[in-house]
Amino acid sequence: MQVSTLNIDFRERVVINTEKLPWIESPSPGVWRRPLERGGAESGRATSIVRYSRGTSFPPHSHPDGEEILVLDGVFSDESGDYPAGTYLLNPPGSRHAPKAPNGCLLFVKLCQYRGNTRQRLVLDTTAMEWQRAAEPGVFVRPLYSQAGYPETMALMKFEPGARLGPHEYAAGAEILVLEGTLADEQGRYLQGTWLRNPPHSVATFVSESGCVIFIKTGGLN
């Protein structure tokens, strides 16, 4: 089964427990996806959880509008190196690679969302980064990406038990993937593996009673 379009109206709030989605095989055998949003053709905008089975690879391909990857488990590789769990990559528009995973891996992947000819390739070992204190007590951040002239800001955030973030208005929208623990807001509780996308001009207060770690992207949804 292939998904053509999915969750492409950015005015709508979306909440998905990714761990309950079925795996859909990609065009490359042994590479599986859980699609979260998709803008059409195989080369179009997409956000997915991607699983490489042991020993699988994907044919060489380019990214005309860039690619973002967070390695969730295992080791992801291409001709430029090996990227263990916790690695964050931003491949700029026009980049090309032939990915593989000799021992398998699990990824969070965003495709065709990063136009702009001045973006630089970025590779970060987030496990080696220090947590920085945010303005709110008990909230810490590892900044991943922001660049003058582009709307997105990406980061990892850690909530200590009982910590609160907000209320904040997300003028150009926000996306969150819960990596560890449980996050909550005014509309519900979100277990590990939950992906949520709040539309532009949404207001939210995030809390975590037991503590959590999230990936958060703000901007780029208007």
Torsion angle of alpha carbons 93, 118, 75, 142, nearest 10°?
Answer: -140
Q: Rg for the chain (alpha carbons), in Å?
A: 17
pLDDT, tens digit, 9 for 90 and up, residues 199-213: 999 999 999 999 999
Does the structural domain 5-123 have CATH classification 3.40.50.10860? no
Q: Which residues contact 92 (CB under 8 A, 6 or more apart)?
A: 63, 66, 114, 116, 119, 120, 121
pTM score, whole prediction: 0.95
User: Residue 132: beta bridge partners?
Assistant: 141
C-alpha distances out from residue 108 to 5, 11, 32, 167, 169, Å: 18, 22, 12, 27, 25
pLDDT, tens digit, 9 for 90 and up, residues 32-85: 999 999 987 666 789 999 999 999 988 887 888 889 999 999 999 998 899 999
Record the tokens describing residue 213, joined without a space.
């770690």
Domain boundaries, the chain: 5-123, 129-218
pLDDT surpassing 80 at residue 222: no
Does the structural domain 129-218 have CATH classification 2.60.120.10? yes
pLDDT, tens digit, 9 for 90 and up, residues 147-187: 999 999 999 999 999 999 999 999 999 999 999 999 999 99
Is there a common fold for 5-123 and 129-218? yes
pLDDT score, position 1: 46
C-alpha distances out from residue 176 to 27, 81, 157, Å: 27, 27, 10
